[in-house]
């Protein structure tokens, strides 16, 4: 059943392509329906899995589809899921729905926009569900192209540059992954690309020594690991709101997921050798991202760099190599997906589409908390979640990562604290500047971007009120973050048992 | 072996030759004086039917023979390549139906068919003499096809360059082959391998190998013998350019791999050796040519403003990738080479088809002429999206699997010490570069704003393009459809 998350997304693409031109309302309804269907399937699959593994001794990996695809190379069409992938599938469903709710005002070539959007979502679902590495790679690359077009066509600041940079970074990353995969396939001699089959083989150490960093960095580029993160801020800023939400929400998770599922699973010896190195890079990412976010003038760049910082926690969690750190990393992927989505929605949709500026100094003069109080309240809540206050998902996740890191690298864990402190500083700074400035100037006097008719029809009105889809989307994301913050066990109960499966043998071996 | 048996083996070739003659005769006798477009459709249909007939014959009969000591070899692999060549020929003919660059309809189509016959014989040859004769038949047809637009001086330039380079390379090939004959005393490929085996690296043999590589390097447009390609692709009439880029490439690569793998097999006869068992000398030569092609082709393509030249430089890069398959030489590599070449041919014909549409509508094929195409001709644009992404190697399109298969075969060839890995890493790196310029084309089509009025797309071209795009997707999603044959 879970496989239908993929199929239904691509089906949605087909339907959208066949729709008549110019009917934006119909296009977005079709897209929303598709995304909801995907989310529904994801939730159902999640609940089913949860009850299935409650039985002691149950299989931790549920196979969804397993068929021969290219027998001469031993490639299979193998879709399966465990707790880690299901958590991320759930996140993808949520981000997809929220993204569409926040792009309800797209009128310019709306049909194509949602077609590319759903193609991206379909590819992402595919990556999370593939247990054959060839298949995983196929979906991974399918997700590259729609990103380019969404940003290049519907984006804002330096959109073509940002889009091309993102596409090339992704493609270079996936090229590195390809080299590693072919190497593993040939060296293991397993005549299979199945994850389990390849993971079973113990590769010679000198091969792992280069294969691990190649594959890990290949994926980590997309996860925004410092110093390969530079696509992230420019890409996020250039992208339209929905795309920023997806980029930060799920695409960066693709990279982190690949690191965990492929690089770390296949090459445990390489992992042990390179572990400290990547842990240090992760911490540099946390601190560097936070410090750069502190001095940005553009509202969206702040959020963009904060994503780099938060993804540093994910990578640090992965490098702890203990169950608590790893589960924290997965939880952080989920939590950051929700919170970053919310932040980008406020910046891109609620603020930028109304004021047409993201310059913090300009915004400071507008007193947005009076003009659009809903946006201000949403942003306050999102900031609290992002800073990691208890009660929200960010706290549960980062707390676990920190405990894990404390066990693994006590010295480095202290440095992480600095990152968290700076995180609070930049969040409060941007909150104050953007919403609680002291000016009286009315927004909407700035020039319009190449937005749709919607924006044009609002000329003269000081500020259109927050629309219903925006409210729904904000409530959805805040609700999820609160829910996971209060009951992290909802997710942890499926994530932690997954570590018992044979795929995580390396976790026990490296301990 | 009597002539009836030989005829039975060569039925497909015979059918195509007869079709060529029929097209010529019917056009001269009955169609002269009618409207060009009508003549193209009637004569083109006859040519297609003939080619279909040849394909059908090969599908129902499965002979396995080796006539006159390798003069004419028929086995499932050659049959498959011939079917693919004829399919590419049919697509070329269909694309030419909407063109108006010439009044000599019959001659044009007949030459395409004769070129196809040459390629078919080339595929079946395992003897140096037959190789050379078939090569010349193909080349001479292609030279004329490139020059066919008599109203355009660029077409003449393209043809002249192609001809001069081609003639020179034919001389190199012939010189190399004659040295091989002198060294081994035979023109039959397996016997050459047997004669050369264990002799070590004779300086004369080195010269012979280098000459042969130069000759074929020209045919497949590999660096540094690529200079004709951009001009020929740019100046030649679109169907001719498409045919040069697809059919000719498939056939040349097949025979190149065969000569290298069988003729210079080295220690083991019949080409069953691993790559380091080859007659020493040619592996480094081909490896260098492959590396140069990938680097130069991809880098120069970045700065092109003409889409045809962009496709030409990308073709040079692709020749580099395919040479890796020639180098790898194990059970997988020939299959991967054929898969790659055939899917590449399909994709390139499609890309040229789109270029032709834009040229007819806009009068040019600069990148800027493609601006806003997605709003002017959505279906054609979508086809171009598929072709370009396939060339860039994005899954699930055909060229991705081709690339993947070639790389896997190459790494496998050097296992367990991964001898060809450096070449594969270079190939993967350069293919990451290639995404940039393919996206430049797509950026014009999808992102940039262009003139608002819709572009007129001829019906046949549109159908052919959709068909080609469907094939690219199909072979990418289900590579087994092709691999099952090999």
| pLDDT at A439 (0 to 100) | 62
B280 near B264, Cβ under 8 Å? no
Mean pLDDT of B365-372: 87
Q: Which chain B positions have a beta carbon within 8 Å of A134's beta carbon?
A: 404
Task: Give the lowest-confidence range in B44-48, B149-153, B159-163.
Answer: B149-153
Q: Which of A72, A137, A152 is facing B447, going by the closest CB pair?
A: A152
pLDDT for residue B115 is more than 90 = yes
- Quick one: pLDDT at residue A178? 92
A142–B405 CB contact, under 8 Å? no
pLDDT more than 70, % of chain B = 94
Q: Using 50, 70 and 90 to split pLDDT, how confident is the model at B269?
A: very low
pLDDT-based confidence at B280, cuts 50/70/90? low
Question: The domain containing residue A378 runs over which residues?
Answer: 4-510
Interface test with B, best of A133, A178, A193 (most B CBs within 10 A): A178
Q: Is B428 on the interface with A (CB under 8 A)?
A: yes
Cβ(B295)–Cβ(B426) under 8 Å? yes
Closest chain A CA to residue B372: A153
pLDDT for the residue numbered A329:
92
Element (H, E) at B398: helix B398-413
Q: Is A190 part of the contact surface with chain B (CB cutoff 8 Å)? A: no
Distance from CA of A83 to the nearest CA of B (A): 27
pLDDT band, residue B2 (cuts 50/70/90): confident
Helix (H, G, I), strand (E, B) or coil at B67: strand
Cis ω on the peptide bond leading into residue B416 (within 30° of 0)?
yes
Residues of chain A with pLDDT under 50: 444-461
Residue A112: burial class (beta carbons within 10 Å; 0-12, 13-18, 19+): buried
Total domains, chain A:
1
Q: What is the pLDDT of residue A159?
A: 86
> In this complex, which of A70, A160, A182 lies closest to B443 when CB atoms are compared?
A160
- Whole-number pLDDT of residue B270: 38
Interface subset of B 311-340, CB within 8 angstroms of A: 335
Cα-Cα-Cα-Cα dihedral sign, residues A117, A120, A126, A128: negative
Q: What's the CA gap between B286 and A204, in Å, rounded? A: 31
Mean pLDDT of B87-92: 94
- CB count in 10 Å sphere of residue B454: 11
- Tell me, what's the pLDDT at B265? 67
- Which residues partner with A66 through β-bridges? A78
**Residue A57 touches chain B, beta carbons under 8 Å:** no
Please name the member of B374, B429, B439 whose beta carbon is closest to the beta carbon of A167: B439
Average pLDDT, chain B: 86
Whether chain B has a CB inside 8 Å of the CB on A209: the answer is: no
Q: Does A183 touch chain B (CB under 8 A)?
A: yes
Q: Say what the pLDDT of residue B419 is.
A: 66
Entry pTM = 0.91
**Residue B318 in contact with residue B223, Cβ under 8 Å?**
no
Q: Region B202-218: what's the mean pLDDT? A: 85
Q: Looking at residue A288, what is its pLDDT? A: 92
Domain residue ranges of chain B, discontinuous segments joined by +: 1-268, 286-486
Place of tokens 């398959």: B325
Mean pLDDT value of segment B4-10? 83
Q: What is the pLDDT of residue A451?
A: 43
Judge contact between B135 and B170, C-beta under 8 A.
yes
Is residue A20 less than 8 Å (CB to CB) from chain B?
Answer: no
Substitution target in B372, B395, B448 with the highest count of A β-carbons within 10 Å is: B395
Is A19 at the interface with chain B, CB within 8 A?
no
Nearest residue on chain B to A179, alpha-carbon basis:
B425
Average pLDDT over residues B358-384: 87
**Residue B266 predicted with pLDDT over 80:** no
**Alpha-helix runs per DSSP H in B220-376:** 228-235, 238-245, 247-258, 282-302, 307-328, 331-362, 373-376
**pLDDT number for residue A510:** 65
pLDDT of residue A285: 92
Cis peptide before A452 (omega within 30 of 0): no
Q: How far apart are CA B209 and CA B180, in angstroms?
A: 8
- Round to whole Å and give the CA distance between A346 and A385: 14
The pLDDT of residue B267 is 54
């Amino acid at each position: 059943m879970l496989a239908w998350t993929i199929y239904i997304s691509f089906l949605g693409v087909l339907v959208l392509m066949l729709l008549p031109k110019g009917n934006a309302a119909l296009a977005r309804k079709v897209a929303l329906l598709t995304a909801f269907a995907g989310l529904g399937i994801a939730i159902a699959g999640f609940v089913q899995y949860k009850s299935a593994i409650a039985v002691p001794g149950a299989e931790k990996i549920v196979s969804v589809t397993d068929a021969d695809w290219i027998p001469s190379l031993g490639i299979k069409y193998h879709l399966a899921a465990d707790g880690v992938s299901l958590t991320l599938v759930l996140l993808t469903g949520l981000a997809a729905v929220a993204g569409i709710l926040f792009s309800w005002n797209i009128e310019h070539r709306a049909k194509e926009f949602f077609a590319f959007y759903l193609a991206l979502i379909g590819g992402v679902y595919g990556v999370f569900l593939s247990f054959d590495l060839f298949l995983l790679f196929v979906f991974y690359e399918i997700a590259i192209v729609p990103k380019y077009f969404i940003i290049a066509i519907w984006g804002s600041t330096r959109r073509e540059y940002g889009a091309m940079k993102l596409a090339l970074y992704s493609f270079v990353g996936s090229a590195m992954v390809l080299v590693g995969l072919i190497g593993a396939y040939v060296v293991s001699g397993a005549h299979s690309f199945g994850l389990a089959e390849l993971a079973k083989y113990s590769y010679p150490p000198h091969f792992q020594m280069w294969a691990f960093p190649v594959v890990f960095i290949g994926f980590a580029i997309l996860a925004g690991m410092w110093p390969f993160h530079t696509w992230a801020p420019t890409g996020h800023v250039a992208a339209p709101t929905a795309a920023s939400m997806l980029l930060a929400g799920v695409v960066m998770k693709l990279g982190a997921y690949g690191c965990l599922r492929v690089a770390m699973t296949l090459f445990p010896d390489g992992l042990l050798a390179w572990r400290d190195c990547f842990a240090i890079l992760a911490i540099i990412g946390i601190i560097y991202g936070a410090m750069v976010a502190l001095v940005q003038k553009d509202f969206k760049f702040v959020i963009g760099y904060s994503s780099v910082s938060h993804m540093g926690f994910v990578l640090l969690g992965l490098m702890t190599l203990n169950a608590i750190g790893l589960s924290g990393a997965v939880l952080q992927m989920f939590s950051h997906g929700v919170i970053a989505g919310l932040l980008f929605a406020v910046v891109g949709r609620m603020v930028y589409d109304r004021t047409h500026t993201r310059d913090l100094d300009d915004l400071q003069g507008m007193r947005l908390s009076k003009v659009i109080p809903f946006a201000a309240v949403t942003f306050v809540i999102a900031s609290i979640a992002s800073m990691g206050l208890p009660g929200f998902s960010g706290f549960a996740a980062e707390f676990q990562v920190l405990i894990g890191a404390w066990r693994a690298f006590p010295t480095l864990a202290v440095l992480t604290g600095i990152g968290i402190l700076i995180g609070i500083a930049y969040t409060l700074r941007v909150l104050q500047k953007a919403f609680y400035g002291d000016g009286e100037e009315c927004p909407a006097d700035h020039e319009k971007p190449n937005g749709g008719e919607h924006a044009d029809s609002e000329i003269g009105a000081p500020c259109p009120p927050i629309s219903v889809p925006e409210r729904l989307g904000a409530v959805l994301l805040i609700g999820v973050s609160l829910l996971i913050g209060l009951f992290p066990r909802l997710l942890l109960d499926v994530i932690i048992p997954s570590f018992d499966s044979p795929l995580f043998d390396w976790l026990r071996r490296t301990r | 072996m009597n002539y009836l048996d030989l005829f039975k083996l060569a039925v497909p070739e015979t059918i195509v030759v007869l079709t060529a003659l029929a097209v010529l005769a019917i056009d001269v006798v009955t169609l002269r004086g009618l409207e060009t477009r009508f003549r193209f459709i009637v004569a083109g249909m006859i040519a297609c039917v003939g080619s279909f007939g040849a394909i059908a014959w090969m599908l129902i009969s499965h002979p396995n023979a080796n006539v006159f000591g390798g003069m004419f070899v028929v086995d499932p692999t050659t049959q498959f390549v011939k079917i693919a060549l004829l399919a590419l020929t049919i697509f070329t003919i269909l694309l030419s139906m909407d063109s108006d660059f010439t009044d000599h309809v019959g001659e044009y189509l007949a030459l395409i068919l004769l070129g196809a016959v040459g390629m078919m014989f080339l595929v079946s040859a395992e003897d140096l003499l037959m190789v050379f004769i078939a090569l010349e038949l193909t080349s001479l047809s292609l030279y004329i096809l490139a020059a066919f637009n008599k109203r355009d001086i660029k077409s003449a330039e393209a043809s002249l360059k192609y001809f001069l380079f081609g003639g020179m390379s034919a001389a190199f090939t012939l010189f190399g082959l004659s040295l091989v004959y002198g060294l081994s005393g035979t023109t039959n490929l397996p016997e050459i391998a047997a004669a050369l085996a264990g002799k070590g690296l004779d300086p004369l043999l080195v010269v012979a190998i280098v000459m042969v590589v130069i000759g074929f390097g020209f045919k497949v447009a590999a660096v540094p013998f690529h200079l004709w390609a951009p001009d020929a692709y740019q100046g030649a009439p679109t169907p001719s350019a498409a045919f040069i880029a697809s059919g000719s490439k498939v056939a040349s690569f097949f025979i190149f791999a065969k000569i290298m793998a069988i003729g210079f097999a080295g220690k083991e006869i019949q080409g069953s050796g691993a790559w380091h068992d080859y007659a020493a000398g040619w592996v480094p030569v081909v490896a260098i040519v492959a590396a140069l092609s990938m680097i130069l082709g991809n880098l120069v393509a970045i700065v092109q403003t003409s889409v045809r030249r962009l496709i030409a430089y990308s073709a040079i890069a692709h020749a580099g990738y395919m040479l890796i398959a020639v180098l790898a030489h194990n059970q997988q590599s020939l299959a991967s080479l054929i898969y790659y070449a055939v899917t590449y041919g399909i994709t390139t014909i499609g890309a040229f088809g789109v270029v032709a549409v834009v040229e007819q509508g806009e009068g040019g094929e600069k990148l800027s002429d493609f601006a806003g195409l997605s709003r002017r001709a959505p279906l054609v644009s979508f086809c171009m999206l598929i072709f370009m992404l396939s060339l860039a190697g994005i899954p699930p399109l055909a060229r991705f699997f081709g690339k993947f298969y070639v790389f896997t075969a190459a790494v496998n060839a050097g296992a367990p010490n991964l001898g060809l890995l450096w070449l594969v890493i270079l190939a993967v790196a350069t293919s990451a570069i290639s995404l940039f310029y393919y996206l430049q084309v797509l950026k014009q089509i999808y992102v940039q704003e262009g003139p608002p009025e819709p572009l007129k797309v001829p019906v046949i071209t549109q159908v052919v393009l959709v068909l080609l795009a469907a094939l690219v997707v199909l072979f990418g999603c289900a590579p087994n459809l092709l691999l099952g044959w090999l």
